[in-house]
């Protein structure tokens, strides 16, 4: 079974600095999808970034980028120029390749990293 591990329960960063959140996963599949979700104190889970395993290029969304190391099964999130609004719980998630028409679309989540941004 697939598992997702986030080894940093809490992280802190100064405003305008860069922080990296780590995520590792375990799978025997060769094709899959990886996600980072953000859950601010208001609780709405928001998609930050996603990565298809078959793509070698690391995904980037504005100040957010990932370092995807497929062989190492590592999927870290880098937040550049941190802002106060980035303070939230960040969840890494894994999804198997989709089997359209029958199988589920199960996301497997890590336990999350609580990011604090210091002014």
Partner 1 sequence: ETGVTQTPRHLVMGMTNKKSLKCEQHLGHNAMYWYKQSAKKPLELMFVYNFKEQTENNSVPSRFSPECPNSSHLFLHLHTLQPEDSALYLCASSQMSSGGTDTQYFGPGTRLTVL
Rule CB under 8 A: say whether 44 interacts with partner 1.
yes
Rule CB under 8 A: say whether 114 interacts with partner 1.
no
Q: Which of 63, 103, 116, 118 binds partner 1 (CB under 8 A)?
A: 103
- Cβ neighbors of 106 (< 8 A, separation 6 or more) are 95, 96
The dihedral of CA 80, 55, 74, 88: what is its sign?
A: positive
Rule CB under 8 A: say whether 64 interacts with partner 1.
no
Q: Which stretch binds partner 1 (CB under 8 A): 19-27, 42-50, 61-69, 78-86?
A: 42-50
* Token pair belonging to 83: 């802002």
What mask of x and - would describe binding to partner 1 in positions 66 to 95, judged by CB under 8 A? -------------------------x---x
The dihedral of CA 43, 49, 50, 51: what is its sign?
A: negative
């Amino acid at each position: 079974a697939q598992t997702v591990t986030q080894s940093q329960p809490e992280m802190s960063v100064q405003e305008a600095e860069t922080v990296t959140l780590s995520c590792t996963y375990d799978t025997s599949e060769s094709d899959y999808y990886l996600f980072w979700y953000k859950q601010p104190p208001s609780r709405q889970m928001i998609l930050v970034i996603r990565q298809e395993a078959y793509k070698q290029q690391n995904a980037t969304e504005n100040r957010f980028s990932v370092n995807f190391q497929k062989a190492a099964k590592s999927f870290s999130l880098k937040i550049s120029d941190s802002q106060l609004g980035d303070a939230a719980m960040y969840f890494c998630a894994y999804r198997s390749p989709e089997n359209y028409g029958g199988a589920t679309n199960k996301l497997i989540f890590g336990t999350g990293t609580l990011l604090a941004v210091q002014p």
